[in-house]
Amino acid sequence: MTARARRRDAVAGAAALVTALVTALGMVAAPSPRLVVLAALALGVGVAGERWWRGRVARASAGATRAAVVELCEALRGELAGGAVPADALERVAEEWPLLAPAARAAAAGGSVAEALRGLAERPGAADLRVVAAAWQVAQRTGHGLGDALGRVAEDLRAAEQTRRVVAGELASARATARLVGGLPLVALAVGGAGGADPWGFLLGTTPGLLCLAAGLGSGLAGLAWIEAIASDVERGR
């Protein structure tokens, strides 16, 4: 995880903690059960929003890492084609892509580069480094050109990344549709208010209204979470 990602997670965690504390204080100080229910609903919406944001950030970070893996494969191939030995090629490429730094250190120390790459592949979005590790190991054992092997790996990874982008584009439509459907009740409330009714007064000021609000929010958030889970499984190839 990069320093920027850690900062984002820290900010998101702090925001969730502040929301929880404010809601808890509101529950303690609330003069009526209705305010307690409203505070609980606000907490639920806040936590759901924070989880959605963190998932979005994680997907973006993993996508950037996958793209970096393809680029560093091509950079390694270029260094090897220029006559650099594998250890020097790793060191030079690691200067531009710090993701490879542990593998470069392993090469400089005479350790197993393939094992270092497999360890790096555990990071989100870096799973394709297992293929790079396999190509590196096979090239070392057989004596075949590592540059050619990495070139073929880079081509395969780029094709796979293009497929992922097509899938992500299709899933983006599904996600957008789900969010649009989730927002339709707000439109209905606005139309009802414009027509002279008082839907907000019913939802926030009466016990049946609060029950309806809780059920509606719960169903909406559950539906969005379900769509997100399905989309995430598709992205992971399940």
Residue-wise pLDDT for 98-155, tens only, equals 888 888 888 888 888 889 999 988 888 888 888 888 888 888 777 667 878 888 888 8
Please give the residue range of the domain that contains residue 174: 3-235
pLDDT value of position 2: 46
- Residue 96's identity, in one-letter code, is E
pLDDT interval class at 26 (50, 70, 90): low
Instruction: Evaluate whether 91 touches 108 at the Cβ level (below 8 Å).
Output: yes
* Interatomic CA distance for residues 17 and 237, integer angstroms: 33
Q: Which of 25-29, 131-135, 173-177 shows the lowest per-residue confidence on average (mean pLDDT)?
A: 25-29
pLDDT interval class at 234 (50, 70, 90): confident
- For the entire predicted model, the pTM comes to 0.64
Instruction: Evaluate whether 210 touches 42 at the Cβ level (below 8 Å).
Output: no
* Interatomic CA distance for residues 42 and 29, integer angstroms: 15
For 85-108, what is the mean pLDDT?
86
Residue 15 pLDDT more than 80? no
* Interatomic CA distance for residues 205 and 196, integer angstroms: 17
* Interatomic CA distance for residues 115 and 137, integer angstroms: 9
Instruction: Evaluate whether 100 touches 75 at the Cβ level (below 8 Å).
Output: no
User: Encoding tokens for residue 119?
Assistant: 């360890």
- Which range among 32-36, 109-113, 115-119, 167-171 has the greatest average pLDDT? 115-119
Fill in the DSSP letter of residue 128.
Answer: T
- Total domains in the chain come to 1
Instruction: Evaluate whether 69 touches 86 at the Cβ level (below 8 Å).
Output: no
Contacts of 4 (CB under 8 A, 6+ apart): none
* Interatomic CA distance for residues 159 and 233, integer angstroms: 20
pLDDT value of position 114: 87
